[in-house]
Amino acid sequence: MRQFTEDNLTDEVPKVGRLLPFAAPSFQGGVYVPRLTADGLTTLRFEYKVLSPRLSFHSDSLYWTYEDRLMGDPLGSNATAYDVALGRWFEHRYKVDFDVFYARRDPPTRAGGVAREESAGFAFDLFGLPFDISSSGGLLSEVRARTAFEYVTNVNYSTANSFRVGLLFSGAILPTEMTWSRN
């Protein structure tokens, strides 16, 4: 588990506020089990995130910078998220994951009948270990694919709902030590 916090109560409690605990404690954690079954080919991952309602609100985006460092969280403040994935290796070379996720974002204020945003969905991931491209002289290749489905209610605290489908396919060519060491 990781705890991260932001700011203290310097402005809210003059003179002693800077000595008090942080104002916006948030938590992120999870468990990864790389060998769930006896054959060692099934994996399990659980992650969660609980973000404080006092986490900074900024009008420009969910991220901001401070001394050239990216701050914030893509979920925003006052939010909770859960993610569970079950994976299985095939032929000791390919891995398929089934991922289920849920997130809830409460609005910064309850004024004006602003609604809570909730999203839930699932995804399938396919991953292949790098393989040798024959006749390439030592190059490796890698492929990944992801298909995700998500339903969101009250997008950005509005009354709009959305169904999203995401498709991702990526590939890479990787040089090996043999590729770089030839004269």
Structure confidence at residue 12 (pLDDT): 63
Q: Are 63 and 71 in contact (CB under 8 A)?
A: yes
Give pLDDT tens digits for 54-64.
666 555 555 56
Q: How many CA atoms lie within 13 A of 169 on its CB side?
A: 0
Q: Are 73 and 50 in contact (CB under 8 A)?
A: no
| Mean per-residue pLDDT, 173-179 | 72
Domain limits at 97?
2-180
| Mean per-residue pLDDT, 96-120 | 86
Give pLDDT tens digits for 119-174.
999 999 999 988 887 665 678 888 999 999 999 999 888 888 999 999 999 998 88
Residue of 147, 149, 148 whose CA lies nearest to 169: 147
Per the structure, the count of domains in the chain is 1
Q: Is 78 exposed, middle or buried (0-12, 13-18, 19+ CB in 10 A)?
A: buried
Res 49 pLDDT > 80: yes
> Could you tell me the two tokens for 114?
């602003």
| pLDDT confidence bin for 27, thresholds 50/70/90 | confident
Q: DSSP secondary-structure letter at 138?
A: S
pLDDT averaged over every residue in the chain: 82
> Could you tell me the two tokens for 54?
């006092």
**Which position has the token pair 């996720």?**
101
Helix (H) or strand (E) holding 131: strand 117-132
Count of other CB atoms within 10 angstroms of residue 4: 14
Residue of 133, 134, 146, 144 whose CA lies nearest to 174: 133
Distance set, CA 183 to CA 44, 138, 179 (Å): 45, 14, 10
